[in-house]
Amino acid sequence: MRFLQIIGILSIFKDKTLSLYILLIISLIFVLLIPAIGMGNPRYRSEIEPLLLILGAIGIKTVIDNYKKQ
């Protein structure tokens, strides 16, 4: 799933139609992601999960779209 989330991040920066997602991610990185880096406890990671879910969905969509092109 982390691989698909990385693909989602890369596709957001590559595709200009997803510019609102870029603003959302930039605003959430400082608030949620940076304080939770390195925390193994799921209680502290729960705030990041919606962001990771969005990135995973975008990554899955990108993979499916690239598969259909071939």
> pTM to 2 decimals?
0.64
Total domain count for the chain?
A: 1
64 pLDDT band, cuts 50/70/90, is: very high
Task: State residue 38 phi and psi, 5-degree precision.
Answer: 90, -5
User: How many angstroms separate the CA atoms of 43 and 52, rounded?
Assistant: 15
Q: What is the mean pLDDT of the chain?
A: 77
DSSP SS3 for 1: coil
The boundaries of the domain holding residue 26 are 2-69
Which residue would you say has higher pLDDT here, 32 or 8?
A: 8
Give the residue from 10, 25, 2 showing the smallest Cα distance to 66.
Answer: 10
Helix then strand then coil, in percent of the chain rounded to 5, is 85, 0, 15
